[in-house]
Chains A and B, each alone.
Chain A
Amino acid sequence: MRLFVLIFTLLFAPPAVQAATLADYSFDEPGKAEDFRDIIEEMRCLVCQNESLAGSNAELAIDLRNEIYEMMKSGQEKEDIINFMVARYGDFVLYSPPLKPTTYPIWFGPLIVFLVGGVVLFRILKRKSVARETELSAEEEQRLNRLLNQSNDHRDADQ
């Protein structure tokens, strides 16, 4: 139980490294610190591609954090900073790709697959339920009665 609690706590503990690196950046205006954190968490570190700029300790990530910090200090908006980064490193630097024709497959692909799957599933289910509820034709009705009577006759005979 104690081990479980420990693992559970560690799972939800905020990464310590991140907290340490971000402590160096302070802003006078309220809200700016949150904006700064949002921006660097949305950007990919290009050296270690599975880390954000916020989480990475690669030298380039540190330089880029400083650069973004300076830009924010000089009053530039989030949009300016994103444009600055994309102009240099491409859309790759963004964790969530922008919506444009070349990225339509990523954005709408899953939805399309889901809809197609849903239609197929719906049709299969519908066909099955229709088959189950079909009423017997006159001919089948007769055959059913004949079979039922037959088996009853047999049973009578056995007794």
Chain B
Amino acid sequence: MNRYLRYSIPLIVFAVIAAFLFKGLGMNPREIPSPLIGKSVPEFALPTVESPDTIVKTSDLQGKVYLLNVWATWCVSCRAEHETLVQLSRSGKVDIVGLNWKDERDKAQVWLRQLGDPYSINIFDKKGRTAIDLGVYGAPETFLVDSKGIIHYKHAGPMTMQLFNETLLPLIEDLKPKG
């Protein structure tokens, strides 16, 4: 074997390991790939934040492309992203459905009155059972769902205008019926 080649083997091995470790530095351990991409929104029947008597079912949400946003009043990052959601809702670019997660109904209502209500429907998941079916492990989380109820994208962490414009908007345009 060529002598120079042989002596360069440790260097190559080092470079490969270093490359992997460097890649790892830039990755977010909180970003867990969701097995629900490509699957349907799980079946549920829950009341809304506004009223315990209004029951919303999975099938009620079909027929439109929407963002499913998991939020709670105890979640600090949800407050941080709330302004973005209100702006998105006003822009009319997408419909936003809320999933209020393990929260108090009166606190959630006060929050919406004070900060604005970007949600077309706001589901009240007091026990967090539907959130478990959605694989939610923190708030906020946002799912992109098509008109047939299939999940296409999941973001864990606060929604930003940049994320919406660069990643979600192109996906939404693709999912909307052509014509």
**Residues on A close to B: CB < 8 A?**
46-47, 49, 59-60, 63-64, 67, 86-90, 92
The 4 A-B residue pairs whose C-beta atoms are closest, nearest first, are A46-B137, A88-B135, A90-B35, A92-B32
Q: How many of chain B's residues touch chain A, expressed as a range?
A: 10 to 19
CB neighbors of A among B35-78 (8 A): 35-36
Nearest A residue to B156 by beta-carbon distance? A46
B32 proximity list for chain A (CB < 8 A)? 46, 89-90, 92
Instruction: Tell me the bound Cα distance from A87 to B134 in angstroms.
Output: 9
Determine whether B33 belongs to the interface, using a CB cutoff of 8 Å to chain A: yes
Determine whether B132 belongs to the interface, using a CB cutoff of 8 Å to chain A: yes
CB of A89 within 8 A of CB of B135, answer: yes
Per DSSP, chain B at the interface is: loop
Per DSSP, chain A at the interface is: helix
**Residues on B close to A: CB < 8 A?**
29, 32-36, 102, 127-129, 132-135, 137-138
CB of A47 within 8 A of CB of B35, answer: no
CB of B35 within 8 A of CB of A63, answer: no
Instruction: Tell me the bound Cα distance from A49 to B129 in angstroms.
Output: 21
CB of A60 within 8 A of CB of B35, answer: no
Instruction: Tell me the bound Cα distance from A90 to B29 in angstroms.
Output: 14
CB of A63 within 8 A of CB of B137, answer: no
Instruction: Tell me the bound Cα distance from A46 to B134 in angstroms.
Output: 13
CB of B33 within 8 A of CB of A88, answer: no
Nearest B residue to A92 by beta-carbon distance? B32
A47 proximity list for chain B (CB < 8 A)? 137-138
